[in-house]
Amino acid sequence: MSLRSLAAELLPAALHGLHRAPLVQRDPPPTAEVQSFDALASRLGYLPKADLKLVREAYKFADQAHLGQFRANGQPYITHPIAVAGLCAEWKLDAQAIMAALMHDTIEDCGVTKPELIEKFGAATADLVDGLTKLDKLHFNTREESQAESFRKMLLAMARDVRIILIKLADRLHNMRTMQAMAPERRQRIARETSDIYAPIAHRLGLNQTYRELQELCFELLHPWRHAALSKAVQRARGHRRDIVERVQKDVEKAFAQHKLKVQVSGREKTIQSIYAKMREKHAGFAQVSDIFGFRLVVPTLTDCYIALGVLHQLYKPVPGRFKDYIAIPKANGYQSLHTTLVSPLGTAVEFQVRTESMHAVAEKGIAAHWLYKVSGKGDGKGDGKGDGKGAAADAQRFSTLWLQSLLDIQVETNDSAEFLEHVKVDLYPDAVYVFTPRSKILALPRGATAVDFAYAIHSDVGQHTVAAKINGEPVALRTELKSGDVVEIITAPGARPNPAWLSMVRTGRARSKIRHYLKNMETEESRSMGEKMLAQALRAEGLQLPPSDPSDAEAQSLWQQLTKWSGNRNRGELLVDIGLGRKIAIIVAKRLAQMMAERGIKPDAVTLTLGRYTQDDSTPTQGVVFVDGSEGNSIQLATCCRPIPGDAIVGYLGRGEGLLVHTAECPTGKRLFERDSERWMQVEWAEELTRSFETSVYVLVKNGKGVLAQVAAGVSTAEADIIHLGMDPEPAEETIELRLLISVRDRLHLAEVLRTLRRQPVVLRVSRYRFA
C-alpha cells in the first residue's frame, strides 16, 4: 500500500468528530517508569527482607560501576538498569533476576568480570548477567556475524534459564520507549532488530502485552507517518462507532444478568500496528477493517466459559467459520481462550474473547505468569483443573519449555551462528495449525508445515526414515501442507534417508536443522569411505597395505600423524575425506605414504604388488578400480550430460571438492575433461550386484492427439519402468510433438525393452535414447 493511497483512505476517517468512548480502551498504558531505587524498592514488597538487602547491594555495585556514564538523553546511565529492574518487578521475578537486571550492563560496559560478580553475588546471579552480555569483545569479520553469535549465546543461555530472556525483553522494552535521543539510523536498526527477533520471542513465550507494545513501538519508529495517520483515524473512529460499542456492551451485560452469570465485560481496541497489518493482509482500506473494537469476557471458571459462549450465540448470530477453541487446544505459547465473531444489531462483525481470570493472566504475561502465581499463590480453585491459576501458568511454562528445549536440539545440529539464527527465526511463528497423530495426540506446527515437519516433530528417527504420508487416511505427497484437524500418519522404511529436496519444503527449524545435519554427516562419511578405498587401491599399486586405524597400534598411528602433518590435515579422517572429494590425489598421497613406510623399513609385498598391477589398465592413470553399485550417495555422482546406466562403458573424473563424477566412455564432455586434466581420471566399473535403478533420457516423437501422453505412460509402465520427469517444447501444437522423458531403468537391457514397448504404440513415430546433453 503506497503512502498516497493510505493518505487518501485515512483523510475521510479523520473528519469524524472527536468524541471518545470510555467503554473501549487500548492496552493499559505503561506503568510509571521507575527512576530511583526507592521507587523500585516500593515494588519489591513481595521479596523477603534478606533478599531486598541483596538487591540493594547490587544497586550500589551497579551505581558505582556506571558512575560518570550518561544515556543519549542526558540522564545518568543507572536510571536504565533501575527501570529494567522495575519492569521485572511487575512480573514478580525473584531476587537473583532483579539483581541481574540492575547489573546487566556491568560486564559489557564497565569492565567488570564474571569472577568478580561470582565472588560478590554468587554464581547464579553472575550466570544471568553473563547470559545478557554481548560478545563484542571477540573478533568477528562482520557486524552481522557478531550479532548472530551474540543472539546464539543469549538464546542458548535463555534455554537454560528463561529469566535471561525476561530480563532482556525488559531491557529492550525500556530502550524502545526511550530512543527519541538516538540517531535516526540507529533507531531504525534497533527497531528492525526488535521486530525481527525480540517481539516474536515475546509472543512465542506468551508475553502478549509486551509483544503488542514492542510491535507498536517498532511500527511507530519504522513507519512514523503511517502510524501518525492511522492514530488520528482511529481516534476519530472511536466517536463514530461509539453507539455500536455502547449498545453491544449493554446487550451483553443484560443477557448475562438474566442468566445470573458473573462476568467482567471490557472493550478492547486493536493496536495501530495490528490494524495496519490487517489492512495489508486483506488489501483493504481503513473503513473496511470492521473489527477494530472487540470485547473480552472474564468469567470465574472454565465451565462458565462455555456457558458464556452459549449466551453470546443466543444473543447474536455467529459468523460461520470464525469460532476457535483455544481452551481445548491451547496455542503453542500456552494461550487459552474462546474466540467467536458475532454479527451486531447494526450488521457489523464484533469479536468476543471468553476466558477465566487465570487464563487472562497467562494471555497477557505468558511464561512470566509462573512467577506471578508463585508469589501470590492465587488460583480460582474452581472448575476442573484447567481453570486453576497455577495450572494455567504451569501450562504456559510447559509449552515455553518445549520450545526452549528445541533451541538446544537445533544447537546440537548447527555449528554456524547465522544458520542457527535462521532456524530460530523460522520457529518464531505467529500462527499455528493443530494436527493429530493416529493415536489422537495433538501437535502444534507453524502454518505452512508439511508432512515432513510432522514426522520430525514426532521424533528425529521417524523423520530420517520417512517415505510416505497419509492425511485423513488418504495417501498424499510429502510436501502437502497440513491444515488444522488433519490426522497425519507417517510411513517409514528402514533403508530410507532424508532427501536434500526436503529443505525447500520444511517449515520448522527443528526439521531443517536435522536434515542439514544428516546430509552433512552422510556426505562426510561417504567421502571418508570413498577416500579410504581409493587410497588403499593406490597404495596396493605400490605393493603395500594401508596402515590400520587402530589407536593401539603405535607404529600405524605414528605413520598417520606424519602423513597428515605433510598433507596439512588435522587427522586421518579429514585426509580421507579430502581424497574422497578430490581435493587431494590418491596416487600422490599413496606415493608419499609408501616413501614414509620405506624409511621405516616396510617393504613392498610381491603378492600385493601383483594384485595392484593386475587391476591396472595401461591406458588409464592408476588410482585403482572403483565399483559403482548405486549405494554410494553423494561421494559418487552420475553425470547428467550423458546419464550412464549399467551396461555402458564408464570412466570416473575426480573433481576438486566434488567427489567422483562418472561419465560414459563416449561422452564428449568427459573427453574434454580428460584432455584438460588427465591425472584426475580413474578406472570405474559397474558392480555385479546393483542396489537401485538408474535414470536416463529418452526422446519420443508422437502424433499429436487426445490421449497421447496416456498411451506413452502406459507403454513405459508395461515395461516396468518409471517416468521421473516429462518435458516438451513450448511451441504451438503441430501434427507431431517431441517428448523428452527421464525414465528409471535397471540397465541397458531393461532400457532396450522399454524402447521396444514404446515403438509398438500406434501414436509413437520414433523413439531413441538421448545420450549427450
Is the distance from CB of 436 to CB of 185 less than 8 angstroms? Answer: no
DSSP 3-state of 728:
strand
Q: What does the alpha-carbon distance between residue 653 and residue 679 come to, in Å, rounded to a whole number?
A: 9
The distance from CA 86 to its chain's CA centroid, rounded to whole angstroms, is 33
C-alpha pair distances (Å), 492 with each of 437, 465, 616: 15, 5, 43
Q: What does the alpha-carbon distance between residue 666 and residue 384 come to, in Å, rounded to a whole number?
A: 77
Q: Which residues contact 481 (CB under 8 A, 6 or more apart)?
A: 448, 449, 450
The backbone region for 407, taken as left when phi is positive above 0, alpha when psi lies in -120 to 50, beta otherwise, is alpha
Based on the residue annotation, tell me whether 144 is a catalytic residue of this protein.
no
Based on the residue annotation, tell me whether 523 is a catalytic residue of this protein.
no
Neighbours of 772 (CB within 10 A): 15
Position of cell 605414504?
Answer: 593
Q: What radius of gyration, in Å, describes the C-alpha atoms of the chain?
A: 34
DSSP 8-state symbol, 642? T
Q: With the C-alpha atoms ordered 642, 645, 647, 651, is the resulting torsion angle positive or negative? A: positive
Of the residues 109, 357, 574, 658, only one is catalytic, namely: 109
Of the residues 27, 51, 90, 108, only one is catalytic, namely: 108
Is the distance from CB of 726 to CB of 696 less than 8 angstroms? Answer: no
DSSP 3-state of 330:
coil
Q: What does the alpha-carbon distance between residue 267 and residue 246 come to, in Å, rounded to a whole number?
A: 10
Question: Nearest-5° angle of CA 504, CA 695, CA 583?
Answer: 70
Pairing of β 24-25 and β 264-269: parallel
DSSP 8-state symbol, 385? S
C-alpha pair distances (Å), 376 with each of 45, 46, 77, 93, 390: 12, 8, 32, 12, 10
Neighbours of 191 (CB within 10 A): 21
Residue closest to 429 by CA, chosen among 162, 164, 199: 199
Q: What does the alpha-carbon distance between residue 306 and residue 386 come to, in Å, rounded to a whole number?
A: 13
DSSP 3-state of 266:
strand
Q: What does the alpha-carbon distance between residue 495 and residue 716 come to, in Å, rounded to a whole number?
A: 26
Task: Report the amino acid identity of residue 574.
Answer: E
Residue closest to 740 by CA, chosen among 748, 754, 732, 729: 729
Catalytic residues: 108-109
